[in-house]
C-alpha cells in the first residue's frame, strides 16, 4: 500500500480535500490516504461541522494549532506536521489552497524529501500584503506537482519559469464538492428566521480579509455598505470570528444588530451557506472561494478587494471587483447585475465532477500504480 498525507487547516481546505479523499477510496484501493487536520479553524461551524457535512472520517492526525499571527501559526504547524512525517513513511504529501497549513505542509514534505502535490496551484493576486499570496508562491516553488484550477494558473506558472512537466490542468475541485453535495444542501432544513430571509432572495455578505476588517476606516465603510443595502433589501451576514471581534472592539456591531433587515448569524455550515448563496439576489464578499461558488451558481457577486487571484470569475463568471471606498458602488453594482441579465451564461472549463478523477490519475502515475 502506498501512503499519502492530505493536510487541511481551514474550511476551504476541507471542501477541496473531501472529493479527493472519497475518490481515492473508490478508485485507488492501493493508496491509503491519511488526513491531517491542523486545527487552524477551531470554531465548530468553521471546521468540525464541515467534516460531518462532507462525510469525512475523524482525522488521523489532529494538531489543534492555535498560533498568534501568521508566522507563529506556520511555525507551530510546521513542527507538528514534521513530527507526523518523521513517525510515518509517506509516499506523497498533498496540500490545498493558500492557508498557513498549506505552506507548512509543503515545507515539511519538501525538507523530508517527500514529493509534494499542490492542489489549486498557480493562482496569483500579485499582492504581497495578502498572507495568502506569500503562501501560494512559496508552496508552488517547493512543490513537485502543481494541480491547476483555472487558465490563469497556467499563465502565471509559465511566467515564473515552471516546466510543463510539473503543471497539470485538472479543474476546480471546490466546484466538484458543490456538485456532489447538491442533493444535500439543496434540501437541507433551515431555521424559521433564516428561511424567511432566504425566501426574500437576500443580499448575502461575507467579510474577513485584513484589508477590510483590520482597518477602522474600511471596517466602518463595510458597515455603511451593509446598512445601505438594508434600506431596500434583506441582508444576511454570517460573521467570521475575526470580523466579529473587530466589530465589537470598534463598537460597530450594535449598529448592525439594531437593524431588523439585517440577519447576523454565526458562521454557517457548508450546506446551509450554499443553500443561502443559491437563493441570493446578490453576494458581496472579500472571499476567494465565494467568488468561485457564485460564478458557478450564476449569482451576481461583488468582491470588495483591490485584486483577485481568480480572474476567471470576472472573465467568465459573475464576479465584479470593486474598491470598498467606491462612492458609486450601488449604481456600479446595478449596472453589473443588468449586464449579467443580458449576457449568455458562460461555462468555465473543467469546473465539473471529474476534477478528483483527474488528480487521482496523476497520483497513480507519481506512485507508479497502474
3-state SS track over 73-134: HHHHHHHHHHHHHHHCCCCEEEEECCCHHHHHHHHHHHHCCCCEEEEEECCCCCCCCCHHHH
282 shares a domain with 158: no
pLDDT at 41: 58
Angstrom distance (rounded) from CA 84 to CA 37: 12
> Does any domain span residue 56?
yes
| Burial of residue 264 (number of CB atoms within 10 Å: 0-12, 13-18, 19+) | middle
* 52 band by pLDDT with thresholds 50, 70 and 90: confident
Is residue 16 pLDDT above 50, yes or no? yes
160 shares a domain with 108: yes
Considering only the C-alpha atoms of the chain, give the largest distance between any 2 of them, rounded to a whole number of Å. Answer: 61
Angstrom distance (rounded) from CA 12 to CA 206: 14
Angstrom distance (rounded) from CA 197 to CA 277: 12
329 shares a domain with 197: yes
Is residue 283 pLDDT above 90, yes or no? yes
Q: Is 332 helix (H, G, I), strand (E, B) or coil?
A: helix
Angstrom distance (rounded) from CA 8 to CA 95: 7
Q: What is the pLDDT of residues 27-40, one digit of tens each?
A: 999 999 999 999 86
> Does any domain span residue 226?
yes
124 shares a domain with 85: yes
* 6 band by pLDDT with thresholds 50, 70 and 90: very high
Instruction: Tell me the C-alpha to C-alpha distance, in Å, between residue 126 and each of 137, 306, 307.
Output: 10, 10, 8
Instruction: Tell me the C-alpha to C-alpha distance, in Å, between residue 255 and each of 220, 223, 227, 258, 260.
Output: 11, 8, 9, 5, 10
> Does any domain span residue 206?
yes
Instruction: Tell me the C-alpha to C-alpha distance, in Å, between residue 141 and each of 77, 95, 138, 162.
Output: 19, 13, 5, 9
Average pLDDT, the chain: 94
Angstrom distance (rounded) from CA 280 to CA 204: 6
DSSP for 13-40, written as a single string: HHHHHHHHHHHHHHH-TTEEEEEEE--S
Buried b (16+ CB within 10 A) or exposed e, 224-249: ebbbebbeebbbbbbbbeebbebbee
> Does any domain span residue 176?
no
Which residues are CB-contacts of 62 (< 8 A; sequence separation ≥ 6)? 36, 37, 39
pLDDT at 46: 46
Global pTM value: 0.93
Q: What is the pLDDT of residues 302-333, one digit of tens each?
A: 999 999 999 999 999 999 999 999 999 999 99
pLDDT at 43: 53
Is residue 366 pLDDT above 50, yes or no? yes
> Does any domain span residue 227?
yes
> Does any domain span residue 177?
no
β partners of residue 95: 7, 118
229 shares a domain with 210: yes
Which residues are CB-contacts of 185 (< 8 A; sequence separation ≥ 6)? 270, 271, 272, 274, 275, 278
CB contact at 8 A, 243 and 207: yes
Q: What is the pLDDT of residues 82-98, one digit of tens each?
A: 999 999 999 999 999 99
Cell output for 329: 458602488
> Does any domain span residue 82?
yes
149 shares a domain with 229: no
Structural domain boundaries enclosing 274: 184-342
Q: What is the pLDDT of residues 137-147, one digit of tens each?
A: 999 999 999 99
312 shares a domain with 194: yes
β partners of residue 146: 118, 167
pLDDT at 48: 63
> Does any domain span residue 179?
no
Number of domains the chain contains: 2
Q: What is the pLDDT of residues 329-348, one digit of tens each?
A: 999 999 999 999 999 988 99
17 shares a domain with 157: yes
pLDDT at 106: 98
C-alpha 102: how far from chain center: 12
* 44 band by pLDDT with thresholds 50, 70 and 90: very low
Q: Which residues are catalytic?
A: 208
pLDDT at 33: 98
Buried b (16+ CB within 10 A) or exposed e, 282-308: bbbbbbbbbbbbbbbbebbbbbbbeeb
* 42 band by pLDDT with thresholds 50, 70 and 90: low
Mean predicted confidence (pLDDT) in 201-229: 96
122 shares a domain with 12: yes
280 shares a domain with 316: yes
160 shares a domain with 52: yes
CB contact at 8 A, 173 and 149: yes
CB contact at 8 A, 127 and 34: no
Task: Give the CATH number of the domain where residue 141 resides.
Answer: 3.40.50.2000
76 shares a domain with 160: yes
Amino acid at each position: 500500500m502506498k501512503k499519502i498525507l492530505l493536510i487541511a487547516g481551514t474550511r476551504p481546505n476541507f471542501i477541496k480535500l473531501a472529493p479527493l479523499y472519497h475518490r481515492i477510496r473508490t478508485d485507488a484501493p492501493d493508496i491509503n490516504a491519511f488526513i491531517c487536520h491542523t486545527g487552524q479553524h477551531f470554531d465548530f461551524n468553521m471546521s468540525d461541522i464541515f467534516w460531518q457535512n462532507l462525510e469525512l472520517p475523524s482525522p488521523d492526525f489532529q494538531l489543534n494549532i492555535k498560533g498568534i499571527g501568521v508566522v507563529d501559526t506556520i511555525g507551530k504547524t510546521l513542527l507538528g506536521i514534521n513530527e507526523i512525517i518523521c513517525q510515518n513513511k509517506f509516499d506523497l504529501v498533498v496540500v490545498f489552497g493558500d492557508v498557513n497549513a498549506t505552506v507548512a505542509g509543503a515545507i515539511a514534505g519538501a525538507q523530508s524529501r517527500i514529493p509534494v502535490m499542490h492542489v489549486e496551484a498557480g493562482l496569483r493576486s500579485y499582492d504581497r500584503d495578502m498572507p495568502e499570496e506569500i503562501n501560494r508562491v512559496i508552496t508552488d516553488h517547493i512543490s513537485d506537482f502543481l494541480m491547476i484550477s483555472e487558465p490563469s494558473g497556467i499563465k502565471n506558472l509559465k511566467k515564473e519559469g515552471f516546466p510543463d512537466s510539473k503543471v497539470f490542468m485538472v479543474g476546480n475541485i471546490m466546484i466538484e464538492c458543490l456538485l456532489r453535495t447538491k442533493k444535500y444542501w439543496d434540501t437541507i432544513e433551515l431555521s424559521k428566521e433564516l428561511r424567511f430571509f432566504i425566501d426574500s432572495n437576500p443580499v448575502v455578505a461575507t467579510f474577513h480579509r485584513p484589508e477590510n476588517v483590520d482597518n477602522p476606516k474600511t471596517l466602518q465603510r463595510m458597515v455603511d455598505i451593509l446598512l445601505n443595502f438594508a434600506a431596500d433589501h434583506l441582508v444576511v451576514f454570517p460573521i467570521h470570528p475575526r470580523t466579529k471581534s473587530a466589530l465589537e472592539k470598534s463598537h460597530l456591531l450594535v449598529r448592525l444588530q439594531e437593524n431588523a433587515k439585517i440577519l447576523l448569524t454565526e458562521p454557517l455550515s457548508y450546506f446551509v451557506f450554499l443553500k443561502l448563496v443559491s437563493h441570493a439576489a446578490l453576494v458581496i464578499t472579500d472571499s476567494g472561494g465565494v467568488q468561485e461558488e457564485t460564478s458557478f451558481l450564476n449569482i451576481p457577486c461583488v468582491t470588495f478587494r483591490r485584486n483577485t487571484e481568480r480572474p476567471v470569475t470576472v472573465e467568465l463568471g459573475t464576479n465584479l471587483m470593486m474598491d470598498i471606498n467606491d462612492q458609486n458602488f450601488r449604481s456600479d453594482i446595478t449596472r453589473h447585475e443588468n449586464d449579467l441579465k443580458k449576457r449568455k451564461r458562460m461555462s468555465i472549463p473543467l469546473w465539473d465532477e471529474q476534477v478528483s478523477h483527474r488528480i487521482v490519475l496523476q497520483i497513480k502515475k507519481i506512485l507508479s500504480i497502474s
